[in-house]
Structure 1
Amino acid sequence: MNIILIHPYIRAMEKTFLSEPLGLVCLATHAEKVFKEKIRISILDLYAMGARSPVKNGDYYYLGIHDEAVIAEELAKLQPDLVGITCNFTAYVDDSLDVADIVKHHFPDVPIVMGGAHPTIEAVETLQHCSSVDYVARGEGEIVFENLIRYLLGEISIDAINGLTYRKDGEIVFNPKMDLIKDIDRLPIPNRKYIDQQAYKYFNKQTVWYVRKQPVATVMTSRGCPYQCVFCSTKVVWERNWRPRSLELVFEEIEILHKEYGFREIIINDDQFMLKKSRIHEFCDYFIEKNYNLCFSVDAGISIWLVDVDLLEKMRKAGFYALRFPIESGCEKTLEYIRKPVKLDKASALIDEACRLGFWTSSNIIVGFPYETREEVNESIRYAYGSVLDFTSFIIAKPQAGSEMYEDFKKEGLLEKAVVQGSDFYRSDYDTLHFTARELNDIVNNASSKWFMHKVKFFINPINFYRYFLPKLKSIEDVRYLFSVLLAIFRRKIMPILISKIKPFFSP
């Protein structure tokens, strides 16, 4: 059986570079381990094949191979017996469904299964709206996908596949949910042979320009998060269940990435890396002892309520150099709404200590929650500007399907005005009860545009410079990193502003 897993192209309002599709890599690695010579499995990465040359079409950039004839030609080379298509984000669901239509048009007898966060949330709707999709694999994908292959090989019946939604006699059948894998160590280490590593080294360099060392790879050391943030939709896949991989397997994967592929920095892509403090100490002790000279960062951030200064000191020695603190709001009332267990006074104190230890610090400040008032938004922005954070990303709340906030937007009649295709966190398409989308865009643009000069003025103060800036510069490598970040900020933030101001003088 020839199985093709497709990573679709995307349409986005900006040039958007994605990290490697680890979900598909995990599926492929697990299926190959289980079925061995019974199957041949590969990933058709339409995104990686064309994202280096994005094509502008109207309001959107096409990133990846999107020409139907080219996609059909690539599929013809592979002669699929089963096609799987991923769709993790609501903003890109139309792209995934378009790919399904292309596959079905050229290979009408080949079954198509779709998985990922969005189809999990809207499994029935996916089958109702797209006749090209035959199956939806809900939730954690490895075992559902394994059992679907077993069914197509004639080994089990379809009604035995928990986590599958499909059509039967003109009706949509919603099988019981699949239990989460209790011991995720039974899953093999993701085999990166399925994807173009050189392409993702390039994409990561464009996206995570602020990293200390290139090339950079992502690793997942655990699955799930027990917390209940209202804007988060990962609960529909992982539930409120945190399951760590054994650190022995994590160490083995990181060593493969470092020694065989040459990666020099690892981004930990967990929803909640910090939950078990003793585990983080063990992680740090291992890499302090090995002295691989690797750098580490945590994409989802460092949960303030789980960290102390002793742990920060050890993380610094182990190669962590930048900390993202997921504060999300500087307003106590908003924090209560989003159910973020952040105490702002503790957050400020911990950020202060992190800066003094030599970490670069950052945070997200989210505005545009459905019930948030202007006073609350202003309070949140004032908190960021009053902190000693080095960087702050001011972003706009997005109602992701499956989140409680999505239901709040829906209840208040705010989703009818939405344009979700290709949207990002820096531009809103949603009105709230107190703001229009345009007002939110202006607020975020204004707060973001003033941040750089705010930090320049902050560090001109000799006390601030000595206390918060000098600790970051303890080696030649630290100085090089500083200049690389400043150059990137100039190119990405300041240059566009200068061009926009100069351009009118050269217009006819």
Structure 2
Amino acid sequence: MKILLLSPPQQNIYGRFGPPYAPLGLLHIGACLRAAVHDVEFLDMALYPGEFRARLKSFRPEMVCITSVTPTFPSALEIARVVKSESSAHVVFGGPHVSILPEEPLKTGKVDFVVVGEGEETIVELAQAIRGGDPCQVNGLCMRSNGETFLTGRRRPVEKLDSLPFPDWTLVRHIGAYAPPEAHSRRVFTIMTSRGCPFDCSFCVSSKLFGKKIRRRSVQNVLAEMVSLVRNQEAAEIHFADDCFTSNKKWVLDFCDAVKREKLRINLSFMNGLRADEVDEEVLAALKNAGVRTVGFGVETGNKSLMEKSGKRLSLDAVEKAFEISRKMGLNTWGFFIIGFPKETREQALATFALARRLDPDFAKFFPLVPYPGSEVFEEMEDAGLLGCHDWASYGLYSGYVPTLSQMSSTEVADLVRTFYKKFYLRPRKFFLRLLRVRSVVELWLNLRMALFLGRRFAGRGVSHTV
């Protein structure tokens, strides 16, 4: 079967800068479909938006699989409309947004199937069923039949992650087109070593997508993927996409030892950050010796009460300790902060910024709280009547959409985010210290690119969206 994998445009998220990473989920799906002897092509419309119709015409797929996060969902629907009007292909949706709201795309009549949750096994079985079987017998689908929408049956998460093939990076045309801001090179690849998260952060849906149980690949399996990327794809840098990379200390230390023995000489980083209370001097030293140059920590707030209410359950003492050890070891650091928690006051928001200044990471990101579907915050705001009609395209972290249950107005939250960025970065000492730590022309270019992106997003007027 000819199958086209599509990632929607993301201009409403990243503007003209494009996405930082290739869509790892689709590359996993592509690998599984190719292992099942299907003819698979991939198009990232964030990079090549003008090629879609030509590819649809020339490749003539029998199935088109489209992934989407919340802010790309409207674009995904428009793609589905074109597919249905210009081809006879079956349209399949997957990804975080539709896994939480699987009935929504089916109501349009432009989508045939929605893959709910992890899709590697489901999509292979669906392709087989479309060719000669009954899709109703495939677990993990949402679909319509006789005018009714229904779930076919629950698909259990993949328990043995080692059984899955590695993501197929040969589907990606040009890896250098992706540019994560913390990278030190242009050949950056991503790996996920585990799935699942035991925490209940009110602003996150990870545990609902992957479950609370952490399922972890073996050290040997992860190392084999890394070796393959270095030898076959000339990887210079690998960023890990786990939510809980350091949750198992023994695994982390064994992994670091294995990487050292292999002598890969590759830069390592963590695209989602680490939990500050799951690292110590031994862990950070091992990570550095294995090739880690940058660590990030999701701090979220500088207020103990808000930290507890958010479900993050993170000690501020542990946060300060993690940054202190990282700095002592010469690691680059990132800090991630959220403004606009339910019942948050202006004084509490200012305390978060004061903590950011005190921690003084090399890079800090300040985000207004975005109520993603499936999160506790989303339910609270929905019940409070704050969300109205859902303009999903405005739900990006940089889109300026700021409904709020805090004790600040939406405009005030957005203004504080802008102010925090300016006050954090527009310090001569900060600027020159950052320049001194740059180790390559690529790193300098990516840092400047990030600065320009943030400047355009937050420096001017018209960023905030008052609800």
Shared fold (TM-score, shorter chain, > 0.5)? yes
Q: SS at 2:334's partner residue?
A: strand
Amino acid at match of 2:176: K
Amino acid at match of 1:31: L
User: Residue 195 in 1 paired to residue 172 in 2?
Assistant: yes
Deviates more, 1:419-428 or 1:278-287: 419-428
Query: How big is the shift at 1:178?
Result: 0.7
> Are the aligned partners of 1:117 and 1:236 in contact in 2 as well (CA < 8 Å)?
no
Query: How big is the shift at 1:27?
Result: 1.1
Q: In structure 2, do the counterparts of structure 1 residues 403 and 242 end up closer, same or farther at CA, with 3 Å as the change threshold? A: same
> Are the aligned partners of 2:5 and 2:42 in contact in 1 as well (CA < 8 Å)?
yes
User: Residue 320 in 1 paired to residue 292 in 2?
Assistant: yes
Distance 2:356 2:380 in 1: 26
- The residue that corresponds to 1:23 in the other structure is 25
Question: What fraction of aligned residue pairs are identical, expressed as a percent?
Answer: 27
Q: SS at 2:132's partner residue?
A: coil
Counterpart pick for 1:344 among 304, 316, 338: 316
> Are the aligned partners of 2:98 and 2:114 in contact in 1 as well (CA < 8 Å)?
yes
Q: In structure 2, do the counterparts of structure 1 residues 201 and 484 end up closer, same or farther at CA, with 3 Å as the change threshold? A: closer
> Are the aligned partners of 1:223 and 1:244 in contact in 2 as well (CA < 8 Å)?
yes
User: Residue 449 in 1 paired to residue 419 in 2?
Assistant: no
User: Residue 10 in 1 paired to residue 17 in 2?
Assistant: no
Q: In structure 2, do the counterparts of structure 1 residues 497 and 112 end up closer, same or farther at CA, with 3 Å as the change threshold? A: closer
Q: SS at 2:324's partner residue?
A: helix
- The residue that corresponds to 1:239 in the other structure is 211
User: Residue 124 in 1 paired to residue 97 in 2?
Assistant: no
Q: In structure 2, do the counterparts of structure 1 residues 4 and 214 end up closer, same or farther at CA, with 3 Å as the change threshold? A: closer
- The residue that corresponds to 1:146 in the other structure is 124
Q: SS at 1:210's partner residue?
A: coil
Q: In structure 2, do the counterparts of structure 1 residues 411 and 43 end up closer, same or farther at CA, with 3 Å as the change threshold? A: same
For 1:285-344, what per-residue CA distance to the aligned partner results, in whole angstroms no more than 9, with x for missing partners? 122223222111111112111111111112111111111011111111111121112111
Q: In structure 2, do the counterparts of structure 1 residues 213 and 488 end up closer, same or farther at CA, with 3 Å as the change threshold? A: closer
Query: How big is the shift at 1:388?
Result: 3.8
Q: In structure 2, do the counterparts of structure 1 residues 345 and 3 end up closer, same or farther at CA, with 3 Å as the change threshold? A: same
> Are the aligned partners of 2:394 and 2:400 in contact in 1 as well (CA < 8 Å)?
no
Counterpart pick for 2:439 among 458, 481, 484: 481
For the aligned residue pairs, the C-alpha RMSD in angstroms reads 2.7
Q: In structure 2, do the counterparts of structure 1 residues 10 and 393 end up closer, same or farther at CA, with 3 Å as the change threshold? A: closer
- The residue that corresponds to 2:465 in the other structure is none
Query: How big is the shift at 1:269?
Result: 0.9
Query: How big is the shift at 1:45?
Result: 3.0
User: Residue 79 in 1 paired to residue 81 in 2?
Assistant: no
Distance 1:377 1:426 in 2: 18
Amino acid at match of 1:269: A
> Are the aligned partners of 2:115 and 2:122 in contact in 1 as well (CA < 8 Å)?
yes
Q: Equivalences for 1:203-242 in 2 at 5 Å?
A: 203-204=178-179, 208-242=180-214
Deviates more, 1:480-489 or 1:135-144: 480-489
> Are the aligned partners of 2:308 and 2:314 in contact in 1 as well (CA < 8 Å)?
no
Q: In structure 2, do the counterparts of structure 1 residues 424 and 290 end up closer, same or farther at CA, with 3 Å as the change threshold? A: same
Distance 1:303 1:491 in 2: 27
Q: In structure 2, do the counterparts of structure 1 residues 308 and 122 end up closer, same or farther at CA, with 3 Å as the change threshold? A: same
Q: In structure 2, do the counterparts of structure 1 residues 189 and 423 end up closer, same or farther at CA, with 3 Å as the change threshold? A: same
Q: In structure 2, do the counterparts of structure 1 residues 262 and 288 end up closer, same or farther at CA, with 3 Å as the change threshold? A: same
Counterpart pick for 1:373 among 339, 345, 348: 345
> Are the aligned partners of 1:92 and 1:422 in contact in 2 as well (CA < 8 Å)?
no
Amino acid at match of 1:174: L
- The residue that corresponds to 2:256 in the other structure is 284
Deviates more, 1:408-417 or 1:483-492: 483-492
Counterpart pick for 1:161 among 124, 138, 142: 138
Q: SS at 1:421's partner residue?
A: helix
Greater RCO structure (CA 8 Å; 6+ sep): 2
Query: How big is the shift at 1:209?
Result: 3.4
Query: How big is the shift at 1:452?
Result: 2.6
Distance 1:75 1:458 in 2: 47
Distance 1:335 1:414 in 2: 23
Distance 2:196 2:361 in 1: 28
User: Residue 364 in 1 paired to residue 336 in 2?
Assistant: yes
Query: How big is the shift at 1:492?
Result: 5.2
User: Structure 2-normalised TM-score?
Assistant: 0.90
- The residue that corresponds to 1:437 in the other structure is 410
Q: In structure 2, do the counterparts of structure 1 residues 281 and 72 end up closer, same or farther at CA, with 3 Å as the change threshold? A: same
